[in-house]
Chains A and B, each alone.
Chain A
Amino acid sequence: MSSGILLTIIMLSALGLIAAVVLYFIAQKFKVVEDPRIDTVNEALPGANCGGCGFTGCRAFAEVLVKSESFEGLNCPVGGADTMARVADILGRQPVAVEPKVAVVRCNGTPENAARTSYYDGAVSCRVAHALYGGTTGCQYGCLGCGDCVESCKFDAMYMDPLTELPVIIDDKCVACGACVKACPRNIIELRKRNKKDRKIYVSCVNKDKGGPARKACRVACIGCGKCVKICPYDAITMVDNLAFIDSYKCKLCRKCVAECPTGSILEINFPVKEAKPAEPAVADN
């Protein structure tokens, strides 16, 4: 081995050694002292950083969990009960039972139901359209169809249906993180209690106009007649500002309100089709 190569090897090795020592001391001096449990809890969380827990990412949530005495009000909707149980294990605390939720789009303003009265040509963003005017229908509360909600979903649980011009939520994939709820400028999407077989009963309308103008704009609008409120045996329905609202935690899915609603504004999803009553014989025209 020539002296040149030997010298090179010695120089580079010495350089490496010095660098390693310097880095070690710097790492020690600037070390951030943290509760090691934060890392462990962070490992147990899904790592989606979706914000569904209400904090800015999984690590932030892990910090909060480690610092909190109880898990009241703290939940990871993505990981669900399993994840919360594991975290409870790590931290030696009691998990709090949380009802699973699912996102629901409360508008049925399809082109058949709500006639289009103008064309929208601006930037394809619901927030932009909402700031501009009431929308392409006579209803100034309804879905604008530009897909801000679909874009916000990080779990591929939403898509825009080109025929209905409304967003569709895929129940199996929805983790109820709430991103779409925040993205919608009109608060049309709501997180509701998830039922067995993904059954849902909800008022598919957020129109606050009086009955006449509401119905004029959209065939299946809630006209605020109140029949559903009266018929509900569980007091699950309230009427505010000409709009009925079904509390998903009080609703027992009896479907009485669906039959009562004169405009078909209340929808029942994933139920078996009710047997149609035998039709009344037509009265002869004498």
Chain B
Amino acid sequence: MNKILNVSPSPHQQSPETTRRLMYGVVAALIPALAASIYYFGMGAIIVTLTSVLSCVAVEYLIQKFILKVKPSVSDGSAIVTGLLLAFNVPSNLPVYIVIIGAVIAIGMAKMTFGGLGNNPFNPALVGRVFLLISFPVQMTSWPVPSGFKTGYLDAVTGATPLGILSEGVKNGEAVSALMDKIPTHMQLFYGYMGGSMGEVAAAALILGGLYLIWRKIITWHIPVSILVTVALFTGILWLVDPTKYADPVFHLLTGGIMLGAIFMATDYVTSPMTHKGMIIYGIGIGVITVLIRTWGAYPEGVSFAILIMNAFVPLLNMYIKPKRFGKEVKNG
């Protein structure tokens, strides 16, 4: 009896890396930051993170099953990653209903309306965050002061973030060196002892996660390094020109969402360029726009906007920046 064999075109082997493994790798890389956020913000962090992840997964599942009537693909892990990143971008005392609205916008509007995974031009978690920032400006800009489980949830004590202190102070004409006294030391900032969104505070935890991603070959160094180097250079030049008006580059690298943005948000596969050259230009653009907004813009922090603006340029970067082809063109003579 002849065995019935499988036939398919070559190659007949596929690498063990799958979309799901990549997504769960990102989740694993976010665990240090998650641990830091729970450590600093306590109950609120847990509630907001859980709500965000569950809502994102639920929104994707419901839309796929009942509106699009296709097989739900939530098991690929991308909704979980969006949920985690959305949670990391909001304060830990955000009411549950606002988190859910954020999830509906992030998954429903920014991802599913464009065709689901792989088709969205803008980073869904950032679209969710920016939507919430503009729709609920008060709740989205009252940052709990980190004090572990004593922080509480909706009753958390709030205070200004380092970037907030800086931008307010500079507008009022105060010297930067005086403002720096009100802000935790660089070392404290590195470990995350500051007010802010849940996931952005602990640079140490984020860098750890980033190194894991690079080791796992989930991301390459191009985007994070180009963003951080651009920010460092740009703010460094400003600081050297006038240290009383501009904060030092280390401060800028450790505060706000730049670490989270550089390592986890800007490196989102779907919304970032495909070529390494394109990635570097993308990173430089994000760095420049972030510093522009931070220094001269109305908002104290500009990473989310910078990334979304550069997302819009990505199709152009993909179109015109091609990898180096092997072999020169032969002119047909």
Interface residues in chain A, defined as those with a beta carbon under 8 Å from any beta carbon in chain B? 116-123, 128, 131-133, 136
B5 / chain A contacts, CB cutoff of 8 Å: 118-119
Q: Which of B130-146 contact A (CB under 8 A)?
A: none
B173 proximal to A (CB < 8 A): no
> What 11 new A-B contacts, CB under 8 Å, besides A119-B6, A121-B7, A128-B9?
A116-B4, A117-B4, A118-B5, A118-B6, A118-B7, A119-B5, A119-B7, A122-B7, A123-B9, A132-B9, A136-B7
Q: Which of B1-28 contact A (CB under 8 A)?
A: 2, 4-9
Query: In the complex, are the beta carbons of A120 and B8 less than 8 A apart?
Result: yes
Q: In the assembly, what is the distance between CA of A131 and CA of B4, in Å? A: 20
A133 / chain B contacts, CB cutoff of 8 Å: 7
Query: In the complex, are the beta carbons of A132 and B7 less than 8 A apart?
Result: yes
A132 / chain B contacts, CB cutoff of 8 Å: 7-9
Q: In the assembly, what is the distance between CA of A121 and CA of B5, in Å? A: 10
B6 / chain A contacts, CB cutoff of 8 Å: 118-119, 121
Max count, chain A CB within 10 A of own CB: residue among B2, B7, B9: B7
B4 / chain A contacts, CB cutoff of 8 Å: 116-119
Q: In the assembly, what is the distance between CA of A132 and CA of B7, in Å? A: 9
Please tell me the number of chain B residues within 8 Å of chain A, measured between CB atoms.
7
B2 / chain A contacts, CB cutoff of 8 Å: 117
- Look across to chain B and name the residue whose beta carbon is closest to the beta carbon of A132: B9
Question: Can you identify 19 A-B contacts, CB atoms within 8 angstroms?
Answer: A117-B2, A117-B4, A118-B4, A118-B6, A118-B7, A119-B4, A119-B5, A119-B6, A120-B8, A121-B6, A121-B8, A122-B7, A122-B8, A122-B9, A123-B9, A128-B9, A131-B9, A132-B7, A136-B7
| Distance in Å: Cβ of A252 to nearest Cβ of chain B | 44
Interface residues in chain B, defined as those with a beta carbon under 8 Å from any beta carbon in chain A? 2, 4-9
- Look across to chain B and name the residue whose beta carbon is closest to the beta carbon of A123: B9
Q: In the assembly, what is the distance between CA of A118 and CA of B3, in Å? A: 8
Q: In the assembly, what is the distance between CA of A120 and CA of B2, in Å? A: 16
CB-CB nearest 5 A-B residue pairs: A121-B8, A122-B8, A122-B9, A118-B7, A119-B6
Q: In the assembly, what is the distance between CA of A157 and CA of B6, in Å? A: 32
Q: In the assembly, what is the distance between CA of A46 and CA of B2, in Å? A: 53
| Distance in Å: Cβ of B4 to nearest Cβ of chain A | 6
Q: In the assembly, what is the distance between CA of A131 and CA of B5, in Å? A: 18
Q: In the assembly, what is the distance between CA of A54 and CA of B288, in Å? A: 53
- Look across to chain A and name the residue whose beta carbon is closest to the beta carbon of B2: A117
| Distance in Å: Cβ of B205 to nearest Cβ of chain A | 42
| Distance in Å: Cβ of B5 to nearest Cβ of chain A | 5
Q: In the assembly, what is the distance between CA of A131 and CA of B7, in Å? A: 12
A119 / chain B contacts, CB cutoff of 8 Å: 4-7
B9 / chain A contacts, CB cutoff of 8 Å: 122-123, 128, 131-132
A131 / chain B contacts, CB cutoff of 8 Å: 9
B8 / chain A contacts, CB cutoff of 8 Å: 120-122, 132
- Look across to chain B and name the residue whose beta carbon is closest to the beta carbon of A128: B9
Q: In the assembly, what is the distance between CA of A136 and CA of B5, in Å? A: 10
Q: In the assembly, what is the distance between CA of A122 and CA of B8, in Å? A: 5
Q: In the assembly, what is the distance between CA of A147 and CA of B117, in Å? A: 25
Q: In the assembly, what is the distance between CA of A133 and CA of B7, in Å? A: 9
- Look across to chain B and name the residue whose beta carbon is closest to the beta carbon of A134: B7
| Distance in Å: Cβ of A125 to nearest Cβ of chain B | 10
Q: In the assembly, what is the distance between CA of A118 and CA of B112, in Å? A: 38
Max count, chain B CB within 10 A of own CB: residue among A118, A123, A128: A118
A120 / chain B contacts, CB cutoff of 8 Å: 7-8
- Look across to chain B and name the residue whose beta carbon is closest to the beta carbon of A118: B7
B7 / chain A contacts, CB cutoff of 8 Å: 118-122, 132-133, 136
Q: In the assembly, what is the distance between CA of A118 and CA of B7, in Å? A: 7
Q: In the assembly, what is the distance between CA of A121 and CA of B4, in Å? A: 13
A123 / chain B contacts, CB cutoff of 8 Å: 9
| Distance in Å: Cβ of A128 to nearest Cβ of chain B | 7
